[in-house]
Structure 1
Amino acid sequence: MDTNTVVLILGVLIVLGVLMLLWRGQKGSQPSTLKVSLSDLFKMDLSLSPQNRAQAEQDLRKAEQEKAPGAPPGTLPELRPTRALTRVLWIDDHPERNVHETVALENLGKLVTVATSDEAARIFLRRLDFAAIVTNLGRGGDPHAGTRFISELRDAVPAVVYTKDAHTEEADAARKAGATAICVLPHELIAALERI
């Protein structure tokens, strides 16, 4: 049976159920209630092709050449099966510096939403569900912006810091504030997000 037929049959059954409840509700003294969970009706399997992984590895190499020229190339971690799309919020006032990492994440089935300010990030967090946040440490001339934002989250969403240097006082402060990981290289970032 094709998908259109199944959807049509389900639609007719739902409409008939609603009509029957309305009719019974008019005749009886007790109100009738109908609860329909769409999440039980629809499921989605997401499978990444070898081409997605190969493209992500290519973007990862480009990012690592930009971030750490001459360093040995990192590899993607073993990826778990994905049952749903994952949304990642990336907060950085210079998102153009992370284009290859963003494309690699998209190829790995992550929906990346970019916010260039804390205010924009707060709006996204109020209106959308995120599995993780990636943030830099300094924004708009404030070297503590990332750490303050992580403190503000209070573990509501796991946060990963993506920075040039993981061995600074500010990186240590971000760890103490609740950062799940401090990453310097792109493959470390991908691995940290995969663990989350």
Structure 2
Amino acid sequence: MDLLSVVSSLAWPIIAGLVIWRLLPTIKNVIGSRGFTVKIGSAELTVQEVSDKLLKTTADIQGKLASAGASEYSVMESRSPLPPLRRVLWVDDHPANNAYEAAQLQALGVDVVQVESTGQGIEALSTAAPPFDAVISDMARNENGSFHAEAGLELVREMRAGGRPVPVFIYASHQALARRSEILAAGGNGVTSSPTQLFALLRKVGEFPQEYTAD
């Protein structure tokens, strides 16, 4: 693991902890509220407004960390400016597992389309207009009534066999990291179990349309 990955993996929990600490009074108000509004200073906010604010704050943190990582890679690789990252396809048989990450991407201006199987993913790639800029997939999935331990790897292989050059990243448990070399050899562009590293990988594909715009 390179120095940037180590720093990124350490930075996210530290910064997330600081955010939670700063917002702890608000979180306590939300938890203790028996209604749908929370009193914060002289303002009265709905629980949804508080939740949206927390989401935007963490999305902004993720975006800044990812941009810092991508900038470092750009310096090392002398890359030209990247286009916006506008659409991402997320393949996972349990979309709820990635709901927060997907919401963070949407808060950064990225359109996220979620499907639950390799077949649905390939169909979405074939019919997408405008096209997807990147694909995220879990590794193991229940598909068509059976368990596929290598569904993510199979998706990578099927995409490359079909001549689809869209960057694809495996976002799964630590067990998938042991298959990194095999996934990369099949045409995958990255493997991670860290949300911060996932955002950094995506940021190497394109800029988040609404970077640094969280209120």
Aligned to 1:77: 66
Higher strand share: 2
The structure showing larger relative contact order (alpha-carbon pairs under 8 Å, at least 6 residues apart) is: 2
Aligned to 1:98: 98
| Aligned positions, number | 134
Q: Which structure's CA Rg is the greater one?
A: 1
- Residue type at the aligned position of 1:131: D
**Alignment partner for residue 190 of structure 2, among 181, 184, 188?**
181
1:32-86 CA deviation, whole Å, 9 max, x = no partner? xxxxxxxxxxxxxxxxxxxx9974452588xxxxxxxxxxx99632278986561
In structure 2, the gaps of 5 or more residues are 1-51, 72-80, 206-215
State the distance in 1 between where 2:174 and 2:108 align.
Answer: 25
| SS of residue paired to 2:136 | strand
- Residue type at the aligned position of 1:95: P
State the distance in 2 between where 1:53 and 1:178 align.
Answer: 38
State the distance in 1 between where 2:64 and 2:54 align.
Answer: 11
The answer to whether the 8 Å contact 1:117/1:139 transfers is: yes
- The structure 1 segments of at least 4 consecutive aligned residues displaced by more than 3 Å after TM superposition are 52-57, 79-85, 166-172
Aligned to 2:149: 143
Aligned to 1:156: 165
State the distance in 1 between where 2:67 and 2:151 align.
Answer: 32
Q: CA deviation at 1:187?
A: 0.9
> Share of identical aligned residues, percent?
27
Structure-2 change in CA distance of 1:109 and 1:136 (3 Å): same
Aligned to 1:116: 116
- Residue type at the aligned position of 1:146: G
Mapping of residues 121-136 of structure 1, within 5 Å = 121-128=121-128, 129-136=131-138
State the distance in 2 between where 1:192 and 1:108 align.
Answer: 15
State the distance in 1 between where 2:84 and 2:177 align.
Answer: 36
State the distance in 2 between where 1:143 and 1:85 align.
Answer: 29
The answer to whether the 8 Å contact 1:57/1:75 transfers is: no
Structure-2 change in CA distance of 1:123 and 1:74 (3 Å): closer
Structure-2 change in CA distance of 1:190 and 1:138 (3 Å): same
| Superposition RMSD in Å | 3.1
Mapping of residues 48-59 of structure 1, within 5 Å = 55-58=55-58
TM-score normalized with structure 2 length = 0.54
The answer to whether the 8 Å contact 1:53/1:108 transfers is: no
State the distance in 1 between where 2:194 and 2:177 align.
Answer: 16
State the distance in 1 between where 2:191 and 2:133 align.
Answer: 17
The answer to whether the 8 Å contact 2:122/2:159 transfers is: no
The answer to whether the 8 Å contact 2:59/2:107 transfers is: no
The answer to whether the 8 Å contact 1:147/1:170 transfers is: no
The answer to whether the 8 Å contact 2:87/2:112 transfers is: yes
